[in-house]
Chain A
Amino acid sequence: MSLTLNKEPLFAKPAWSGILVCAAVLAALPILNLAFPEGHALHVSNYVVTLIGKFMCYALAALALDLVWGYTGILSLGHGLFFALGGYAHGMYLMRAIGHDGVYQSDLPDFMVFLDWKSYPWYWSMTDNYWYCLLLVVLVPGLLAFIFGFFAFRSRIKGVYFSIITQAMTFAFMLLFFRNNTGFGGNNGFTDFKRILGYSVTAPATRAVLYLITLGFLLGALLLCRWIVKSKLGRVLQAVRDSESRLMFIGYNPLGFKLFVWTLSAILCGIAGALYVPQVGIINPSEMSPGNSIEMVVWAAVGGRGTLIGPIIGAFTVNGLKSWFTGAFPELWLFALGAIFILVTLAMPQGLTGLAQKLKKYKEGA
């Protein structure tokens, strides 16, 4: 494989081997789930496969966020919106694929029957075509991000003002999607999916395939992002982060660069959402709540922003803790999340990857 740029490999050798080992272990889980019967020592439970599949979607979202926050210095508190929109776009197909198997056995999804709608609204047209929905997964978050970004960046809205606007945007969309009349199932959202391209969504084999596709996208996105940040464009992005006005005085127009990375990030986040929905089996407006977007920021911060690998590690760590915590002490999770964020901000601003590097240096020094 010719994965080189400027004569430099994308990752150093140890990093490559680390990534490949992790990928191999992750890829083995659904195979062990299928190959060994329940009760066998090597069997991996359905629960674990679904959980790790979900984590990988989160990791993809955190990676997308790192591209804009860690590298370009644009803190988005609204990436949950792009995640949810990707999920809804995919969910539209999944709803159509239920067919007559709903509670009311109608052509329309149950929530539309409930609203007494007689036919699909115009924006649902063609959503029974899977490939069209996949196009929507990319186009809807991408276009929204492009238009929003164009006006925000052209007006030179920066820093905390930009963050607040993204937060307001996701909140506004959440209220919109909560309304039954919007035509996306109101506060129940989409659920009760039956099949995807004719295969049962709950079958272990389908789950394994979805899981492996997610892993493929996560790896692909990691390589793509790494290639981008190692290019000259990546150095321009970091210059935007460090001193945007200086960059203009040497002849760069930051608008195009910010718009490119912002839109790309939204698309990656939309893909993450689209992969998430069939694995989890539900999408509803709570995915657009401001808290979800902030949680994504915490994943990136815990892992170490501006490293690409860090946010992936952060997404796994924080969500792993969350799974354990919400089982053991459900009412304490939000306190724990806040404590983690404070601890990371104060004690290790470079996150877990920064901590690892410090330890390595310390070892070499000693």
Chain B
Amino acid sequence: MSVLQPGQSYDASPGDANASFGRPKPEGVDTAHGAILYLEEITVSFDGFKALNKLTLDISVGELRCIIGPNGAGKTTMMDVITGKTRPTLGTAFFGQTMDLSRMTEYQIAQAGVGRKFQRPTVFEQHTVFENLELAMKMDKRVKPSLFFRLTSEQRGRIDDTLKLIRLNSVEQRLAGLLSHGQKQWLEIGMLLMQEPQLILLDEPVAGMSDAETARTAELLNELRGRHSIVVVEHDMGFVTEIAQEGKVTVLHEGSVLAEGTMQQVQAHERVIEVYLGR
């Protein structure tokens, strides 16, 4: 970044379309500058151990970003910071231009438009597939509206669409606890979609899946590409190669960014090979 020298001035002409001054305050997340998530110099230390060490990372609107890295690189901690589960020791985390994630609770962050899929599938096992999706659906989630809630046909339609997308339409009345591992993962992705989040965080979405299930999940993510901003943390290199395509891949190591670029660039990176991919 260049610094202005004495006597120098910015060379922006008056009436420049990009230098917008008065903007109406947008509803919800403000992404006027093209990025949806800003992590700056985030440090998280647990009793002196730095799970994240000055991590700086931006995610653009509509981007599908893959994040890889060895165990203990801080991938899950990063997701915890974004979703409000862990507070950063230092640094700032912003959702859009205005929302300071380090000052929001888990449910406020979720309502603002950040959805997360956990490493281990966590669905409500005592609820049916349908009820799981209904609970997750975007709506007023306070006490009174919940008590008097009645499903409209439009909402019913949205649940049906999601059921088809995640291929669980034949088992909508089954208890979620009775689903197979792969089906639970899809149900969780379906619950994410019902929330209509702008930013989706997926923590190892294909862990423990069969090859066919993995392929189906990749297909599912490709359908979502562009409609949401998506961050995928994954170990499975084949899967990452398939979904990253020409997009950016970020490599984390010891709590900070080691390398960033397309999958090919990253795979050719000297240090990445050394610490992660192996020679």
Contacts and interface: CB of A to CB of B under 8 A. Distances in A.
A and B are interacting partners: yes
Interface of A: 6, 228, 231-233, 235-236, 238-239, 242-243, 245-253, 256-257, 260
Interface stretch (B129-137, B210-218, B262-270): B129-137
Contact of B141 (A6, A242, A243, A252): A252
A249 to B, nearest CB: 5
B127 A251 contact: no
Contact of B107 (A235, A239, A251): A251
A240 to B, nearest CB: 10
Contact of A232 (B116, B118, B134): B134
A256 B106 CA distance: 15
Nearest to B142: A256
B105 A248 contact: yes
A248 B124 CA distance: 13
> By DSSP majority rule, is chain A's interface helix, strand, loop, or mixed?
helix
Contacts of B173: none
Given A232-B146, A257-B143, A251 B110 contact: yes
B86 interface: no
The 10 lowest CB-CB distance pairs between A and B, nearest first, are A251-B110, A232-B149, A248-B106, A233-B146, A233-B147, A251-B111, A256-B143, A253-B107, A248-B107, A250-B136
B43 interface: no
Interface residues of B, number: 32
A62 B124 CA distance: 26
A330 B183 CA distance: 56
Interface of B: 83, 85, 105-107, 110-111, 115-116, 118, 122-127, 131, 134-136, 138, 141-143, 146-151, 191, 195
A231 B147 contact: yes
A249 B143 contact: no
B191 to A, nearest CB: 7
A288 B123 CA distance: 39
Contacts of B126: 238, 242
A320 B136 CA distance: 44
A233 B142 CA distance: 9
A232 to B, nearest CB: 4
A199 B173 CA distance: 55
Contacts of B135: 232, 235-236, 239, 247, 250
Given A249-B83, A251-B141, A252-B107, A239 B127 contact: yes
A242 to B, nearest CB: 5
Contacts of A257: 143, 146
Contact of A231 (B115, B122, B148): B148
B50 to A, nearest CB: 24
Contact of B122 (A243, A251, A252): A243
B137 to A, nearest CB: 9
B175 to A, nearest CB: 11
Given A248-B110, A250-B195, A231 B127 contact: no
Most A-side CB within 10 Å, residue of B126, B143, B150, B195: B143
